[in-house]
Amino acid sequence: MDNETATPIGTIGFAGIRALGRGVLRDTAYLLPGLLIDTVKFSLLLTLFCVGVGTVIIWVGIPILVFTLLLGHQFANFELLRLRPLGIEPKKLSARFGGATVVKRKLGILRSGRHWRELLHGIFIFPVTVVTWSISISWWAVVLAGATGWIWIPIQDRAFPQSLGLVDLLHLPILEQVLHFALAVVFAITLPWVLRGCTLVHIALANALLLPTNAELEAEIAKLSRTREQLDAAEVLSRRRLEHDIHDGPQQKLIRLGMDLATAQRRLDEGDVAAASSALREARSLTDATISELRALSRGFAPPILKDRGLDAALSALCAQSVIPTRLTANLADAKTLPESIAAAAYFAVAEGLSNAAKHSQASEILVYAQLEPQELIITICDNGRGGAEIVPDHGLAGLRDRIEGHNGSISLDSIADSGTRVTVKLPR
């Protein structure tokens, strides 16, 4: 609860009164629109839920229930947004569900206790709102009517001279305006506590149904720990592979290059220009091969072009440098909105896919598709090679899987012998 909102009425000084007034305005701004919002919410969710349950026997109800839970989730997010000025800070949980296809992932929502709690909140909040809205609007009505009674009571007496007011009904020896003003003062004094009490009811209901439970928070912490371990494992595997590749490739070539240069120098000292020239040609050839191999190894690092010109340009450059002819089809108009870590993971996924294809696939062509969806980035790498690829521990695809899953993404492999290989990577935006 906001400290300013809880300021006691007895606080001495203008600062305390001002803080109390801000609390009243915040509570009022939350409570008064609630009846309209929760009526719409209640009507939609209850109707869809009843239709879904009633038609589940003919399978039509299943997608209706999924849609109802998704709608309830959006209403819950909006409710938490309304409650944020009152002191509730929602804890974000990942909302990805397992499944190889979109249909299976959506059906996973039916097993989500969090979504069912949000649906319950959207339905049961309505009667609570009817009570709290009625109380809050009644208190404000008495305060405003009593404060303005000096204006409207004489007008009412002239328009309806036979009407009886509270003073007449209670036989009080005071003016009608005085009674109304006294009631306005009493209700104004109690208004902060009444509004705060009504708001606390909504906060308690949100805490019970909308915020994650301890079990969900523990599961999220465990998932984040596994994610971190996967990222660490992927980095360790990448370093080991890089050390192995450098040792078996460029390092050996550089040793041979040094030997060829030493031979050329010795031949020149002996005056054998032809032999020296031959040794230098071999050294030049080794130099070109080493540069090409180092360029291939450098694909494991995020290039400057990725940061300077974005993912689209980086993927285009990567595909242009591929040993196997590669065609890129990309729809990355909003790629600049991607987090740097996601863009780097996408670049590494394509680099690893092209590297594996060059080493093992014996393909003559590679197709790379990159599509930016509202919720995720989808990358597909296809080749027409021999297929039969598998995700083996401590190998390239295993490291790629750990890296992708470390970013809360997913990777799928479709590789049948003699039918090529398809690697699909999905990363959240």
Nearest-angstrom CA–CA distance, 425 and 354:
14
pLDDT at residue 97 in the model:
45
> Is residue 337 classed exposed, middle or buried when 0-12, 13-18 and 19+ CB atoms within 10 A define those classes?
exposed
Higher local confidence (pLDDT), 141 or 272: 141
Quickly state the pLDDT bin for 260 (edges 50, 70, 90). Answer: confident
pLDDT at residue 8 in the model:
45
Answer yes or no: do 119 and 152 share one domain: yes
Domain range for 412 is: 303-428
Quickly state the pLDDT bin for 140 (edges 50, 70, 90). Answer: very high
Q: Residue 137: pLDDT above 90? A: yes
Q: How far is C-alpha 164 from the geometric centre of its chain's CA atoms?
A: 61
Answer yes or no: do 297 and 332 share one domain: no
Among 178, 209, 240, where does a domain finish? 209
Task: Decide if 236 is inside a domain.
Answer: no
Higher local confidence (pLDDT), 95 or 411: 411
Nearest-angstrom CA–CA distance, 120 and 285:
72
Domain with 396 in it: what CATH number? 3.30.565.10
Q: Which tokens in the block code for residue 232?
A: 């660490």
Asked if 118 contacts 130 with a C-beta cutoff of 8 angstroms, the reply is no
pLDDT at residue 1 in the model:
43
Q: What is the mean pLDDT of the chain?
A: 79
Answer yes or no: do 78 and 120 share one domain: yes
Residue type, 28: T
Quickly state the pLDDT bin for 104 (edges 50, 70, 90). Answer: low
> Which of 115-124, 372-381, 385-394 is least confident?
385-394
Task: Decide if 390 is inside a domain.
Answer: yes
Q: Which tokens in the block code for residue 294?
A: 């180092």
Nearest-angstrom CA–CA distance, 263 and 275:
9
Task: Name residues whose C-beta falls within 8 Å of residue 328's C-beta, 6 or more positions apart in sequence.
Answer: 315, 316, 319, 368, 370
Among 243, 268, 301, where does a domain finish? 301
- What are the tens digits of pLDDT across the range 204-255? 999 888 887 766 666 666 666 666 666 666 666 666 766 776 776 677 777 7
Nearest-angstrom CA–CA distance, 286 and 265:
17
Quickly state the pLDDT bin for 355 (edges 50, 70, 90). Answer: confident
Answer yes or no: do 347 and 387 share one domain: yes
Nearest-angstrom CA–CA distance, 40 and 56:
24
Residue type, 46: L
As a whole number, mean pLDDT of residues 385-393 equals 79
Q: Which tokens in the block code for residue 107?
A: 């059906």
Q: Residue 92: pLDDT above 80? A: no
Residue type, 253: K
Answer yes or no: do 192 and 320 share one domain: no
pLDDT at residue 299 in the model:
54
Answer yes or no: do 32 and 155 share one domain: yes
Answer yes or no: do 339 and 403 share one domain: yes
Task: Name residues whose C-beta falls within 8 Å of residue 228's C-beta, 6 or more positions apart in sequence.
Answer: 406
Task: Decide if 415 is inside a domain.
Answer: yes
- What are the tens digits of pLDDT across the range 279-298? 788 888 878 777 766 765 66
pLDDT at residue 155 in the model:
63
Percentage with pLDDT > 70 across the chain: 73
Answer yes or no: do 36 and 147 share one domain: yes
- What are the tens digits of pLDDT across the range 26-69? 999 999 999 999 999 999 999 999 999 999 888 888 999 999 99
Task: Decide if 97 is inside a domain.
Answer: yes
Q: Dihedral angle at the C-alpha atoms of 293, 294, 295, 301, nearest 10 degrees?
A: 130
- Cβ atoms < 10 Å from Cβ of 30: 20
**Residues composing the chain:** 429
Q: Residue 196: pLDDT above 80? A: yes
Asked if 338 contacts 429 with a C-beta cutoff of 8 angstroms, the reply is yes
Answer yes or no: do 297 and 307 share one domain: no
> Is residue 65 classed exposed, middle or buried when 0-12, 13-18 and 19+ CB atoms within 10 A define those classes?
buried
Q: What is the count of structural domains for the chain?
A: 3
Higher local confidence (pLDDT), 93 or 360: 360
> Quick one: which of 320, 318, 311, 376 has its CA closest to 346?
311
Among 301, 331, 366, where does a domain finish? 301
pLDDT at residue 220 in the model:
65
pLDDT at residue 128 in the model:
96
SS3 146: helix
- What are the tens digits of pLDDT across the range 367-387? 999 998 878 899 999 999 888
Asked if 68 contacts 56 with a C-beta cutoff of 8 angstroms, the reply is no
